[in-house]
Amino acid sequence: MSQKSQPTLLRWFTKSPATNKTTTEPDTKNQTKENVNKNVTPVKCKESPKAKEGESNNRIVPKRLLESPGPSTASEESSPELKTPSRKRPNTRNHTPAKRRRVRIEDDSEDEYKPDAIDESSDASADAVSEESPIVSESEYDEDDDDIVESKPKKAKKAAPSKGAVTPRTKNKSSLSDKTVARLSAFSAAKTDESVGVLENDGAREWPHLKFDFLQPDKIMDKQRRRPDHPEYDPTTLYIPESFIKKQTPAHAQWWEFKASHYDTVFFFKMGKFYELFHMDAVIAVSELNLLFMRGEYAHAGFPEKSYRRFSDVLLQKGYKIARVEQTETPEQRDERCKNQKKKDAVVSRELCRITTVGTRTSSFLDAEPSSPHSTYLLAISELSDAEKSLEEPKFGVCFIETSIGKFYLSQFTDDRYCSKLRTLFTCFPPAELLLERNKASPKLLQIISNCLPSVNKVMLKPKEFWDPEKTLKTLNQEYYNNDLPALLVNMTDPSDALRQKPLDEFKLCLRSLGAVIFYLKSCLIDEELLSLKLYEKYVPPCGDKNNIGAKGNMVIDSVSLKNLEIFENSAGGTEGTLFNTMDYCGSKFGKRLLRSWLCAPLCDVNLINDRLDAIDDLKKSDLQSTVQELSDLISKLPDLERLLSKIHTQGCARRSREHPDARAVLFDNAIYSKRKILDFLAALEGFKITLQIRQLLYNVRDQLKSKLLLKCASYPSEGYFPDITGILTHFDEAFDHNLAKKEGKIIPRSKVDEDYDLAVRDEKDVQDLLEQVRRDVSSKLGAKVTFANSGKTRYMLEVPDAISKKLSDDYEWKGSRKGFRRFHTAKITTLLTELAGAEERKENILKDIMRRIFESFSKYYNDWIAVVKCVALVDCLISLTKCSTNMVKWGATISRPIIEVDPEKKPFISIEQGRHPSLLKYKSNFVPNDISLGDQLLLLTGPNMGGKSTLMRQTGLIAIMAQIGCYVPASKCHLSLLDAIFTRLGAYDRITEGQSTFYVELSETSLILKNASKHSLVLLDELGRGTSTYDGTAIASAVINELIKHIQCRTLFSTHYHSLVEQFCKDDRVKLGHMACMVENENEEDPSDESITFLYQLTDGPCPKSYGFNAAKLAGIPIDIIRKAHETAKAFETFGKANRLMRSLINDEDKPINELRNIIKTLQSIQVKF
């Protein structure tokens, strides 16, 4: 089979697209560093020979890279290209024409280049690349070619252009010189083979990097020269032979040095105005970003600097780890650095400025905003060492952070054998990235992670990268907080240690996890901006207290119940039909995050529950509807203020501006980035102005409010929660001209905004006044008009008429002349000019830094700003609950305010009348309501398959959750005593990765219920025991029921198809019998296939006579013959069971009369069992 005829996927794994070799192929072995462009001569190309049949090449790249699909098959027509003309440099040495780059652009977002005016400001700094790079980059361009030309195929009626042809789009076609047209023609894309999605002219040949010896599977090593089979092998690094590096051009040598330390990372390598990707990284860029390969021997792609935001976001969403490398000096700075060196560098300095992963995304001016309003976390987990581990209960220390907000959560806890607390943490705070200790994580922990977080990126850190708690505290004290630790960390240290570097035993594990997170953030170069916020919170995992109902203040809903009740995710993995989806009407992103936290931990504080319900009562009032609508409209206009505050803090961080590599980076689109920063800041200011309007709206109707929560959200600190930000907001709002700042991308502060700037301006004005006084004195002394004149760099020259100038003394220093006048300086003027230059220099330096200084000043009020955000989020959530209540009525439900009691003297109870499933209301207009009433009892629920038993159980649990969140519920009446926890065992699933069968999972969940449930809990058990034999299942179910009613005595719904359980407990006062009613037509004991079942979905007292499983089989399409045969077998089983019961009665009851015994024996003789 020829290479071209191979299937697309096979071609992708065996060959990579590349441009053709030139007619005269350079001798790469004799290539020198001086002639950096020898192997990229883009002369006329021709078709390269096809690869030999059967030729293959093995390459090794990080696992993440190997998973990349092949190049996109998008055509030229669907995705226009971006062309980059180059400046032609003087041919001072043997120098080949520039290599061209093509970037495929799919939209007209602000991140893309468009035809524009010539950017002359970049000329000086752009020439750096040509002296260092193996290609002539974008910095070498002609002045008349400075526009980046976006090309789109033209529509032609008579003759369509050849596939892949490019027609440069210009404003005035005739204005282009012949030289420019010739240059632009070099950017024409080659013809495409649509079946493969690569350049046809490139040929299906291998890229050079696939043949590098040190990348071959049998020779690859990490940076310490360890092979993959070595226990300490580090797959994130790569050994590159020194001999190979020496053969590279200076720029490529730089790239390989970065790659050696971060082999698992895709590098965006800055060269002039473009980010370039080489070798395996370029293959990924072409495949994932729809870029095109650039001409040349090796894989190479690139895109403009300001497109970084969009392209980096695409790769991050696909799970890649990316690095941004910036130039940190201009060519002039390089020359200055090397002027005293014998051997000058041929390359400008570059530094790694940022490593970004899916778990470390922040909202900088370069990065895209997080796509989801919900938080995703970076989570580190540490365990006890093998010697310290308990056989029964594992102990974990965790630290997790949402990097776009900057708050650290710390916790250390002892878990049960099923790690239910850890599983609940994964559900409530879903991690996007997980940090574990290499070779130290227990198999059990790895199994749980594999089962609960199968798609989450796991980073295995070396043991030394999981800092011990002493090192963590020492580093925080000395490097970040200058011995001023945040209060939470202080509480984790030994009070007897004045240095605060000795941890308490109960916090050692979580401090180790904190150390791992800090290490990882430091490796990503975002440690300073996050740690300087000093936001720490102790996370307390949900755990019920059997003796004190309000001990923790929140209802416990473990991960199993969150999943079974479909709080956040349905069984298909989506959000449709979930409780969160039903209740979420929040207008702000930070409001949605707060509502999610409410659902994870409903309240156990009756007063606070009633406060929320009072707020809903207020917001439902008819005379407040216009106010509520105004509040909703205002809240919906708010940006994500919580994340904006973190972004502004980062941009105002003084230490970061001095020490971070980004502070030295040479960015060519600074004007764009400055405007982005200003727009973010102005968005925050406008957002906080809106919050003041929200407060004022609530304050205006305070006399109509009875809710303490709403009143406190509308009141300033003396009476409420809302801080008085009017003064500081006005200060920052009037700090500069907003329109001018948005237009020019820079801030000129007004008076009293920055003291140093005001001082510099005042000093400048004072010196100017003194100079003016000197002029007036000279003019008065000479009796003639004397003015100041400026010429070039010489300023403030006294301009004196020729006739008078001859009378001047030697104190006047001649500086120049013009017709009829002579110009002089005096010693006083010279002194004042020195002072003026100093004041002007200070002023200019401050202006360069003024944006950061204003942001830093703004961030000093972080506590006030975040308090406002919390108040608005609270109002947003209360409005959301109100809208949820209103919409339930629209969907046909009767709603009521739940009545919740907490009385230790009273037995626990729950009573719901006309209750409906809240998540199904908008999908089922004819939903059948049900009543349920339980004391400290167990409802033994039977009924036909598909009759609504599971729905009723879920409905009861969800109504209880809504009640304790403080929301109206879909029931005509809801009265219950406070619940401390909801435990469920619903559905059937296994955990294959943990080696747990369906039945084992059932028993594990039941075990947790029996261990943790208290008399104040609600337990929902669905068909326990169905995963094993009938007798074993019945026995287990019976024993569990006994435990629940005799010892735990909690409110329980227990559904079953084991009718022997009904017989066993039918006379027990602690067990109520109920069933889901149905109507049977054509009931036939001999042939159930004739029966027609109508489900009534109504809870009815008493047991159900049978389960009508054959009806479910009929509905599922089981053949009638099979159903009939199954029915015969079922009758045999029933007869056998009847005989068994009679025999037991005969044997066990010694006091039965002789006539009764004779009747039993006759009955037994008449029974015939056929299987």
Calculate what percentage of the chain has a pLDDT beyond 90: 53
What is the pLDDT confidence band of residue 99, given thresholds at 50, 70 and 90? very low
Query: What was the pLDDT predicted at 1142?
Result: 57
Query: What was the pLDDT predicted at 831?
Result: 94
Assess if residue 553 is contained within a domain: no
Assess if residue 362 is contained within a domain: no
Rounded Cα gap, residues 425 and 731, in angstroms:
42
Assess if residue 230 is contained within a domain: yes
What is the pLDDT confidence band of residue 1146, given thresholds at 50, 70 and 90? low
Judgement on whether residues 97 and 112 belong to the same structural domain of the protein: yes
Rounded Cα gap, residues 765 and 1102, in angstroms:
95
Query: What was the pLDDT predicted at 1143?
Result: 59
> Could you tell me the sign of the dihedral formed by the alpha carbons of 560, 565, 569, 574, in that order?
positive
Helix (H) or strand (E) holding 975: strand 973-977
Judgement on whether residues 241 and 161 belong to the same structural domain of the protein: yes
Assess if residue 704 is contained within a domain: yes
Nearest to 433 by CA among 475, 473, 461, 463: 461
274-278 and 192-193 beta bridge pairing: unpaired
Please compute the mean of the pLDDT values over residues 685-705 and round it to a whole number. 95
Judgement on whether residues 811 and 698 belong to the same structural domain of the protein: no
Judgement on whether residues 672 and 796 belong to the same structural domain of the protein: no
For residue range 762-821, what is the model confidence (pLDDT) as tens digits? 999 999 999 999 999 999 988 889 999 998 889 999 999 988 888 888 888 999 898 889
Judgement on whether residues 100 and 219 belong to the same structural domain of the protein: yes
Assess if residue 769 is contained within a domain: yes
Judgement on whether residues 97 and 202 belong to the same structural domain of the protein: yes
pLDDT at 93 over 60: no
Helix (H, G, I), strand (E, B) or coil at 626: helix
Please compute the mean of the pLDDT values over residues 359-371 and round it to a whole number. 87
Give the lowest-confidence range in 248-252, 336-340, 470-474, 689-693.
336-340
**1030 Cβ contact list (under 8 Å, min separation 6):** 1058
Q: Nearest-5° angle of CA 1026, CA 1029, CA 1033?
A: 50
CATH value at residue 984: 3.40.50.300
Supply the range of the domain harboring residue 1033: 899-1116
Asked whether the beta carbons of 943 and 1076 are under 8 A apart, the reply is: yes
Number of helical H runs and strand E runs in the chain? 37, 31
| 127/369: higher pLDDT | 369
Assess if residue 635 is contained within a domain: yes
Assess if residue 942 is contained within a domain: yes
CATH value at residue 514: 3.30.420.110
With 0-12 / 13-18 / 19 or more C-beta atoms within 10 angstroms meaning exposed / middle / buried, residue 347 is buried
What is the pLDDT confidence band of residue 142, given thresholds at 50, 70 and 90? very low
Over the chain, what is the mean pLDDT? 79
For residue 574, the tally of other CB atoms under 10 A from its CB is 10
pTM above 0.75, yes or no: yes
pLDDT at 1058 over 70: yes
633, β-bridge pairs? none
Query: What was the pLDDT predicted at 1144?
Result: 59
Please compute the mean of the pLDDT values over residues 119-145 and round it to a whole number. 35
Query: What was the pLDDT predicted at 166?
Result: 32
pLDDT at 30 over 80: no
Nearest to 1125 by CA among 1167, 1168, 1088, 1081: 1088
In the chain, the number of structural domains is 6
Judgement on whether residues 337 and 407 belong to the same structural domain of the protein: no
pLDDT at 714 over 60: yes
For residue range 905-938, what is the model confidence (pLDDT) as tens digits? 788 999 999 999 999 998 888 889 999 999 888 9
Query: What was the pLDDT predicted at 280?
Result: 94
Judgement on whether residues 619 and 500 belong to the same structural domain of the protein: no
Judgement on whether residues 793 and 662 belong to the same structural domain of the protein: no
For residue range 67-83, what is the model confidence (pLDDT) as tens digits? 333 333 333 333 333 33
Give the lowest-confidence range in 267-271, 285-289, 1043-1047, 1159-1163.
1159-1163
Asked whether the beta carbons of 73 and 290 are under 8 A apart, the reply is: no
Query: What was the pLDDT predicted at 22?
Result: 37
CATH value at residue 665: 1.10.1420.10
Judgement on whether residues 304 and 342 belong to the same structural domain of the protein: yes
pLDDT at 336 over 50: yes
Last residue of a domain, one of 538, 567, 590: 538
Judgement on whether residues 865 and 784 belong to the same structural domain of the protein: no
Last residue of a domain, one of 814, 846, 878: 846
Nearest to 855 by CA among 481, 535, 367, 529: 529
pLDDT at 1090 over 80: no
Judgement on whether residues 867 and 939 belong to the same structural domain of the protein: no
Task: Fill in the amino acid letter for 753.
Answer: V
Please compute the mean of the pLDDT values over residues 370-396 and round it to a whole number. 81
| 715/393: higher pLDDT | 715
Query: What was the pLDDT predicted at 1125?
Result: 73
CATH value at residue 133: 3.40.1170.10
Assess if residue 268 is contained within a domain: yes
What is the pLDDT confidence band of residue 1066, given thresholds at 50, 70 and 90? confident
